[in-house]
Chains A and B, each alone.
Chain A
């Protein structure tokens, strides 16, 4: 029954992802398409209002545009958070957010991380929820989608990598806004509130008075998932009955956070004019995802041996921290999806996962390419594909080439930066946090679980996921500043490096494919790609994982 549920969700996902992939390839085509007639009017109006010129950009112009627009966004967000106490739409009378927490929050939502060192219902006014949170929840996945389009054009196109502003607008008009309207309505149908009324007061059956937080929840929850954002309206995120009331809403949320990341490989296939190529990239992500999912599922189903020894029945599996209305299968699936797609929304407290179950979200975020967040996940797997081509491609006796473009010193340098940054910004701050008082003061668990807690926080920040191993006392200057910086480096360094790769590749004359060319659209390459991701991406973290979840697992076994 569990497997049937999981299989059903994944089949539905695949059925949706293929046409969505084709749609995305057309929606962002540089050439005119029929979609232009439909969306063109509104878009032209926006271009005119904003003074956007439609000329093709070089990779440098593109990267500058990404940075300039993102800096503007974070400035707006920071100001509103600081001023929310005096701004309108604050019926519950919530005060201004303090500076460091505002910095962390603004950066967190800017980088598509949505790490929350505050609790939504008590920390944010409705205005902040709508303008800071929902606004960034649209623009940051749109930035990710724009960048991945530019990157894929660099790998497959001839003309140029496109125009950032056009891509950014199209990501809104053609993808995120229409989808979020649909998902919002479906969520409302499942009972998710969408209201401007203040917190309700109710009297419980025992006669006590209870404050029930509510607000414009459905609109936030829809884009939270579609945009692989993850920051909940409420502190407990999608385990809150108002954010995720039914199994159907759970399914809807899983599908919406996986939809865009899972369609992008197919988009790539369409753009490369090789649908098989798209399938191989999707396949590699899919195999890794299934492996992680099964690891999580079986570990949770088998229960927690420590609790069993304490006399608690584990026949239902390890239900500590889980919502009974979802059960193990839907929880394991949600957990595997939210960290694969680096959304960070949770329907369970990840802290309570069994040790190896907890290794799953960690591992997926460390790889950061098992579907990954909107846009960036696909960029990462394609980066690993280039790396795989470089290593394996030499073995066929040619200078490595991917889709006809030679991979040379310049590309390798840029990729080296990207693969270097990820472990650096996870391991270095984790080491600092664990070795110093300012860091370890917030860690609520001793021993191996404490290592996991700190490691999780930085991995989640670096991968721009945003979920947490709750229990960490993270609203301190150390954690706010360190995770804020890690989120910024985690997002922008690799985005800029990969845009540079795109700019360098598009300038190359494609080499025609011959019998002597390494084929990247067959199963052999799928194996090579997975092996590259595992050996280069994952083994790096094995020593620290051995000290965290693995040691914990071995000691409670």
Chain B
């Protein structure tokens, strides 16, 4: 289940962000954000004018210059604060991930075969260690021998242990997780500080943050708007000179700062950082912001059937007798075998038995004892008080168990088990003593809510394709039941890549989830590849996102986050540009009113004095940044709907709102300034 990682904001986060925002005033740092750099230059000029009012010839009011200078300074600080806060939150996320890393002792097998106790930090790639029940796995690695159940809750938050075994897709283990049963030998696959988690943490910390393609394109637009307004404001001085309308330099700088897109310019990087941060909060780690951005563009999602769309061969659908066994007996014994089995499939067996008429008394078994599932035996069951042993488990495991006890295998067991497998189900054999009574037909069931989610995706314009190794008949049934748009049956790993390539050739962006080594090429080919943390190292290396909870359905949330990130950027850009309309009406009349008194006709907001008009616009321009920080961090509200509806809604809120809000805001600030006769 998707569980959000909540990070308690450390109290000093704000304090640190505050300090950082001063450090970021360094012009070399500010240069990276041209919009805010222009503001900084404006700040320096007005600051100089405060002390040398006739710096550019002519008279100017030192006090007015000082106030403008101060507001500009605060504007820059606000923008820096937004970025610092976002970065700080990223770091806080990383801290919480780091807590899962604990210093441990490890038992390393030396070359001569002897065991030595070493610190986990001393382990190097290729070392082999032994980990026993109750111990922490010291480093990322691969099981080379043994089977064990591992508690990965430190990373995933999922309390149920998972089975890990040598060879195959479930051989990789993560440092910091705990072995809860059995003993395994692990080959260490990373050097200290380079483990998967380490690299992920450094990414989250933003150490290697690069601008994403869309961010670069947007920055280009913002820079060109800034340059345009720079041209507008510098040429205004000589043009106004022709009609002897002198414009104070500070006023001109105020106009410039109001017109250039400082709102989005100040919040742009915070939006990007916060977007990645939101992904992390979902316990998904993205290797780059580019991947998060791409997920907003996804056209097609390829989902594995098992484990993603369905519970994965879990619910008992039917009891099938073998040999001469009677159905009532099988009913009862199957239920008894699952008495202590708390897994969903165990509970489903009891449920089915009851549905088929088993009385509750048959399950009152005082003195009985539960036998837990073990990776070695691949069986579980119940030892009754009367000494009879009831077991259920994989067909071949039960066969082995019965043969060992000298029992016989019913002749129809094989065929009936095969029939279940062909239909896409899984068969569990039930044995009492040494008599195999029959099979439990475990059938895939679609997870609740999947249908609605696919419906949601369709509304977002995203196509879902189900991939399964099942035969076409079973696949079609499940596909229909789940409501996916398309399915690929009897899919081999190559088919997945072929499917991805085909979609990409049509210009579509494809997302997929996977965990096995044979998924790795497809994960790499996909535009967004989400690997399960429980999967192999190869899969995780190939993917550009890893889900620590190993919940494949999370790809849907990731897509939503990607969309939200782009929407937030678009909404704030629109808002920022739309704000200019009101600012023009505040500043233009104020600028020329002295030289051309008739200009007051354009003062439609009826602002008190030219000075208060200019300062109100400038103050509005500054405080809108911190007001919008929460929105930049959280992202704009996103509910799946068609693009047209989404656009109309956002256009009204951020476009029309962007035009109207500053009219109100500037007027309010002006009234406050006038009331307190500040200007």
A interface vs B, CB < 8 Å? 387, 390-399, 404, 407-409, 411-413, 416-417, 419-420, 423-424, 427-428, 430-432, 434-435, 440, 447-448, 450-451, 508-512, 514-519, 522, 524, 527-528, 531, 535-536, 539-544, 546-547, 550-551, 554-555, 557
Report if A397-B599 is in contact (Cβ < 8 Å); known contacts: A434-B239, A514-B462, A516-B461: no
For A387, the closest partner residue in chain B by CB is B221
Spell out B's residues near A (CB within 8 Å).
213-214, 216-218, 220-221, 223-225, 227-229, 231-243, 245, 255, 293, 296-297, 299, 458-463, 505-509, 562-564, 566-567, 569-571, 573-574, 577-578, 580-581, 584, 588, 591-592, 596, 598-599, 601-602, 638, 642-644, 646-648, 650-651, 654-655
Say whether, besides A434-B242, A451-B243, A542-B588, A510 and B231 are in contact (CB < 8 Å): no
A551 touches B239 (CB 8 A): no
Report yes or no: A397 in contact with B296, Cβ–Cβ below 8 A.
Answer: yes
Q: Which residues of A contact B463 (CB under 8 A)?
A: 514
Quick check: B228 and A423 within 8 Å, CB to CB? yes
Closest 6 CB pairs of A and B: A394-B570, A516-B461, A397-B563, A514-B461, A416-B224, A515-B461
* A455 nearest in chain B by CB position: B239
Q: Are A416 and B567 in contact (CB under 8 A)?
A: no
Cross-chain contact B592 with A551 (CB below 8 angstroms): yes
- Provide the main secondary structure of the chain B interface: helix
Task: For B592, list chain A residues within 8 Å (CB).
Answer: 546-547, 551
* A contacts with B: majority SS: helix
- Judge whether B296 and A408 touch: CB under 8 Å: no
Give bound CA distance, A411 to B233, whole Å. 27
Q: A448-B243, A451-B243 in contact; A395/B574 too (CB < 8 A)?
A: yes
The verdict on A395 contacting B462 (CB below 8 Å), with A404-B507, A419-B228 known, is no
Closest to B591 in A: A543
**Beyond the given A395-B646, A515-B460, A528-B655, could you list 19 further A-B residue pairs with CB under 8 A, ordered by the A residue number?**
A395-B570, A395-B571, A395-B650, A396-B646, A398-B643, A413-B220, A420-B224, A431-B238, A434-B241, A447-B243, A509-B506, A510-B507, A511-B508, A512-B508, A519-B643, A524-B651, A539-B584, A544-B235, A551-B599
A202 to B124, CA, bound (A): 108
* Complex Cα gap A448–B598 (Å): 13
CB neighbours (8 Å) of A387 from chain B are 221
> Which of these, A432, A539, A555, contacts B580 with CB under 8 Å?
A539
Inside 8 A of A543's CB, which chain B residues have their CB? 232-233, 236, 255, 584, 588, 591
Q: Is there contact, CB below 8 Å, between A394 and B569?
A: yes
Taking CB as reference atom, which chain A residue is nearest B241? A435
Instruction: List the A residue with the shortest CB-CB distance to B644.
Output: A519
- A120–B510 Cα distance when bound, in Å, is 64
Bound complex: CA A519 to CA B644 (Å): 7
Q: Do B221 and A416 touch across chains, with their CB atoms under 8 A apart?
A: yes
Inter-subunit contact A392/B217 (CB<8 Å) = no
> Given contacts A398-B563, A528-B651, A540-B232, is CB(A434)–CB(B238) below 8 Å?
yes
Residues of chain A contacted by B602 (CB below 8 angstroms): 546, 550, 554
- Cα distance A509–B506 in the bound complex, in angstroms: 7
- Beta-carbon contact of A524 and B507 below 8 Å: no
**CB-based contact A509/B577 at 8 Å:** no
Q: List 6 A-B contacts (CB under 8 A).
A: A391-B574, A395-B567, A398-B297, A409-B213, A427-B231, A557-B601
Q: Which residues of B contact A430 (CB under 8 A)?
A: 235, 239
Q: Which among B216, B293, B462, B570 has the highest number of chain A CB atoms within 10 Å? A: B570
* Least CB distance, A172 to chain B, in whole angstroms: 36
Q: How far is the CB of A118 from chain B (nearest CB, A)?
A: 27
Find chain A residues with CB under 8 A from B459 CB: 515
Instruction: Give the shortest distance, in Å, between A169 (CB) and chain B (any CB).
Output: 34
The CA of A398 and the CA of B508, in the complex, are separated in Å by 12
Considering the complex, give the chain B residue whose CB is closest to the CB of A422: B228
Q: Closest CB of chain A to B262's CB: distance in Å?
A: 16
B580: chain A residues within 8 A (beta carbon): 535, 539
Neighbour of B644 across the interface among A393, A524, A527, CB < 8 A: A524
B238 touching A432 by the CB < 8 A rule? yes
CA A150 to CA B571, docked complex, whole Å? 33
Chain B residues with CB under 8 Å of A551's CB are: 243, 592, 596, 598-599
CA–CA, A404 to B566, complex, Å? 18
Residue of A nearest to B580 (CB): A539
